[in-house]
Amino acid sequence: EIVLTQSPATLSLSPGGRATLSCRASQSVSCCLGWYQQKPGQAPRLLIYDTDNRATGIPARFSGSGSGTDFTLTISRLEPEDFGVYYCQQGIHWPTFGQGTKVEIK
Amino acid sequence: EVQLAESGGGLIHPGESLRLSCAASGFTVSSNYINWVRQTPGKGLEWISIMYPNGDTYYAASLRGRFTISRDQSQNTFYLHINSLRTDDTAIYYCAGSGSPNRGDYWGQGVLLTVSS
């Protein structure tokens, strides 16, 4: 099983700030990594797939990058609705998720 | 607009069986990848099962044997059967669909399954 480790566990930022979330895989996942946002009481929502492709309807302030074992989700200017928990997920082998990074209002 | 709606959760006793349903609209279950994922506070998000458009099915290695994914083309609905329920099956269960494998483009709202005596 591929283990995904996300950092930091919590990110405290102000609206308008820049968020940088990291995801490290225990082995190479090639390009097959995605990012999801989850808010309390809601299902995960796909933001990014295959490293750097925004899902339908996702604003341009969300961007993904990386390769191999190291990946990054960047939110360029945080909006109030962006606060929540973010998960990375690999799909090169049996799908697994990271443990999540909580983005909270500072 | 794609909508997925789960049903069938609730309070179930250990050892019993259950079927969760996921009714789809705006999304054809027989021609897409359909998935079940569960979430617990302790283990986080866990991918349970996938069905390919050709009908092939796959399961998490740790869960193989008690879980069965199926679909009904006429109802545009897919299912997760769980046998011999255990207390550690307690979770929110999500159905998810996608045009690509191993990805969740669309998600249901989730259904809570509590296994307890």
Residues A15-39 have pLDDT tens digits of: 999 999 999 999 999 888 999 999 9
Residues 6 or more apart from A69 whose CB is under 8 A from it? Answer: A24, A25, A26, A27, A28, A29
Digit-coded pLDDT (tens) for A57-75? 999 999 999 999 999 999 9
CA–CA separation, B86 vs B82, rounded Å? 10
Q: Do B102 and A99 touch (CB under 8 A)?
A: no
Distance from CA of B1 to the nearest CA of A (A): 12
End-to-end CA distance of chain A: 35
CA–CA separation, A23 vs A33, rounded Å? 9
Residue A55 DSSP code: P
Long-range contacts of B77-81 (CB under 8 A, 24+ apart): B77/B21, B77/B22, B77/B23, B77/B24, B77/B29, B78/B21, B78/B22, B78/B24, B78/B29, B78/B34, B78/B51, B79/B19, B79/B20, B79/B21, B79/B22, B80/B19, B80/B20, B80/B22, B80/B36, B80/B48, B80/B49, B81/B17, B81/B18, B81/B19
Q: Do A97 and B46 touch (CB under 8 A)?
A: yes
CA–CA separation, B34 vs B50, rounded Å? 6
Mean of the per-residue pLDDT values of chain B: 96
**Are the beta carbons of A79 and A15 closer than 8 angstroms?**
yes
Cα B68-B35-A63 angle, rounded to 5 deg: 160
Mean of the per-residue pLDDT values of chain A: 96
Beta pairing partners, A67: A70
Please name which of B52, B47, B46 lies closest in space to residue B34, comparing C-alpha atoms: B52
Digit-coded pLDDT (tens) for B11-60? 999 999 999 999 999 999 999 999 999 999 889 999 999 999 999 999 99
CA–CA separation, A11 vs B53, rounded Å? 39
pLDDT above 90 (res B1): yes
Which among A34, A96, A99 is the nearest to B103, CB-wise?
Answer: A34
At A60, list the tokens.
């341009």
Residues of B in contact with A44 (CB under 8 A): 45, 94, 104, 107
Q: Do B45 and A46 touch (CB under 8 A)?
A: no
